[in-house]
Amino acid sequence: MITNAKAIATRDAYGEALVTLGDLYPNLVVLEADISKSTRTNKFAKEFPDRFFQFGVAEGNMMAAAAGLATTGKITFLSTYAVFASMRAMEPLRTLIAYGELNVKIAVSHGGFTPANDGVTHQATEDLAMLRVLPGMTVIMPADYYSTVALVTAAAEIDGPVYLRFTRDPVPVLYKPENEFQIGKGIVIRKGGDVTLLANGDMLHIALEASEQLESKGIQADVIDIHTIKPLDTDLILDSVARTRRVVTIEDHQISGGLGGAVSELLCESLPTPMRRIGLQNTFAESGQYNLLLRKYQMDSISIVNAVFDLMK
């Protein structure tokens, strides 16, 4: 399943997937908030200018317009940065789109602190928690190019609101074109019996690096891509954790409310298990190189290995 292909930002895969979907669905429209070059919706705008709508720096208005278009039968994708969609425009997102159960796909770039040098104003590290709490909202963070194309396509095929979170910077290509993806179903990438590593997005390849380091020390890890945080693949997680009896969640997000929060809630109710959560721990990040930020906030592969050692005690 794993390949050594070059790194590609998942926002690039999103832009390409939109063009393909534009050919398949004549009723698909795209809305943008002044940053189409950054979110890669400019590719769709070039091919389908009559179905592309630019709203400028008015994310709340864009949410309202997306809701209106969805009521007319349009498959509506809207894009901006994750931090703006989840915070600046949350009220219309909640009240018009989520409450209305409308067919709007909120597809955002710059998830987590992958826009590292841009600083905290552009680093969305709370958005998954905010969107996950909304009733009826599907929440997805793909890990690479091929999973992004597949999951964006799957999102277009279901009726209802979806939050899709992409990376600003390139991430390693982990999958192959023939790999299949289903919303709400995780993917086991490596199999082991000593610990379960649950990750998504840009953190998946770091979890894989950690699993290789653990293997060199005689520790075998399940590595599972939980690309859909809501609905959570509870059966897969419980099956793995029942075997390993140890679990580490790994996410580019606050440890509260996102992947770590979702898994903690599941295990607390169904299978109490020793657990560690890798992510931002009640702090904002800062401006700096991505790899240095991972190290500073103890989100690199060495920190994952140390968390596993702590659990093994």
Output the pLDDT for position 6: 86
Residue holding tokens 């959560």?
277
CA distance 232 to 138: 10
Give me the domains of the chain, ranges plus CATH numbers. Answer: 10-165 (3.40.50.970), 187-307 (3.40.50.920)
Output the pLDDT for position 111: 96
CA distance 75 to 128: 22
Torsion of Cα atoms, 302 then 308 then 312 then 313, to 10°? 60
Q: Are 65 and 92 in contact (CB under 8 A)?
A: no
Output the pLDDT for position 3: 46
Output the pLDDT for position 5: 58
Query: How many residues would you count in the chain?
Result: 313
* Sheet with 247-254, edge to edge strand ranges: 187-190, 221-225, 195-199, 247-254, 275-280
Q: Active-site residue among 16, 32, 47, 59?
A: 59
Average pLDDT per 10 consecutive residues for the chain, totaling 313 residues: 72 98 98 96 98 97 98 98 96 98 98 92 96 98 98 98 96 96 98 97 98 97 98 98 98 98 98 98 95 97 98 92
Instruction: State the pairing for strand pair 228-230/138-140.
Output: antiparallel
Q: pTM of the full predicted structure?
A: 0.96
Output the pLDDT for position 1: 46
Based on the residue annotation, tell me whether 59 is a catalytic residue of this protein: yes
C-alpha dihedral sign at 146, 147, 148, 152: positive
